[in-house]
């Protein structure tokens, strides 16, 4: 009877854990350094790159963010003005990247551009490429500004994101969440605890 009661409590705890996963939202309403406990924005190998928090309509980006009054502007591979912050493959040692401090995370973000360009995101974990996402941008009117937009671009199980593009673009509403343990792994841990306690009392 006691073991059954413990199992019921364990299952209820499992349900609660899975329902309360915490997310951190990066909305770029403050300086980039404000978010350093969650993510860092780094230029590698002396790339000609620049991460700029933009308050429309300043900065000449002709873009509106999706959350709040500001967003992050990224140059990437903007060859017309000799920018090379995009990542083009394993031989490329000069690029910009976003790293997540808490380790492997599930990440989503909104991306937008004044042109209908191809923007690819590369998700890494432990230095190994895990996923590539190239979202389809749809012409949208955002607060009176026409731009090409994709919402909730998702890369799961990553601790670093690189990107490649052909012109300036913006990101906003970056949501970072630590992946939850699977139900089976949590249940296995719980069963181990129960069995150890039972052996001690026999």
pLDDT above 90 (res 11): no
Q: How many whole angstroms separate alpha carbon 132 and alpha carbon 120?
A: 7
What would the CATH number be for the domain defined by 24-179?
2.60.120.200
pTM of full prediction above 0.75 = yes
Where do the domains of the chain lie?
Answer: 24-179
* Higher-pLDDT residue of 6, 144: 144
* Higher-pLDDT residue of 164, 5: 164
Q: CA nearest 126: which of 164, 88, 95, 158?
A: 158
Tell me 64's DSSP state: -
- When pLDDT is cut at 50, 70 and 90, the band that residue 172 belongs to is very high
Q: CA nearest 112: which of 172, 68, 160?
A: 172
């Amino acid at each position: 009877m006691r073991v059954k009661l413990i199992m019921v409590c364990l299952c209820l705890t499992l349900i609660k854990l899975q329902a309360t996963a915490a997310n951190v939202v990066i909305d770029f309403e403050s300086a980039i350094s404000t978010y350093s406990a969650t993510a860092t924005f780094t230029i590698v190998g002396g790339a000609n790159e620049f991460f700029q928090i933009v308050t429309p309509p300043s900065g000449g980006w002709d873009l509106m963010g999706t959350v709040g009054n500001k967003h992050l502007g990224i140059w990437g591979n903007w060859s017309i003005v000799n920018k090379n912050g995009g990542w083009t493959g394993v031989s490329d040692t000069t690029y910009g990247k976003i790293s997540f401090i808490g380790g492997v995370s599930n990440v989503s973000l909104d991306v937008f551009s004044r042109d209908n360009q191809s923007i690819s995101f590369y998700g890494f974990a432990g230095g190994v490429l895990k996923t590539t996402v190239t979202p389809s941008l749809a012409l949208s009117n955002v607060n009176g500004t026409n731009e090409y937009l994709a919402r909730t671009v998702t890369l799961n199980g990553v601790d670093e994101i690189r990107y490649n593009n052909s012109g300036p673009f913006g990101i906003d509403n970056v949501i970072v969440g630590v992946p939850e343990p699977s139900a089976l792994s949590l249940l296995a841990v719980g069963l181990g605890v129960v069995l150890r306690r039972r052996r001690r009392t026999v």
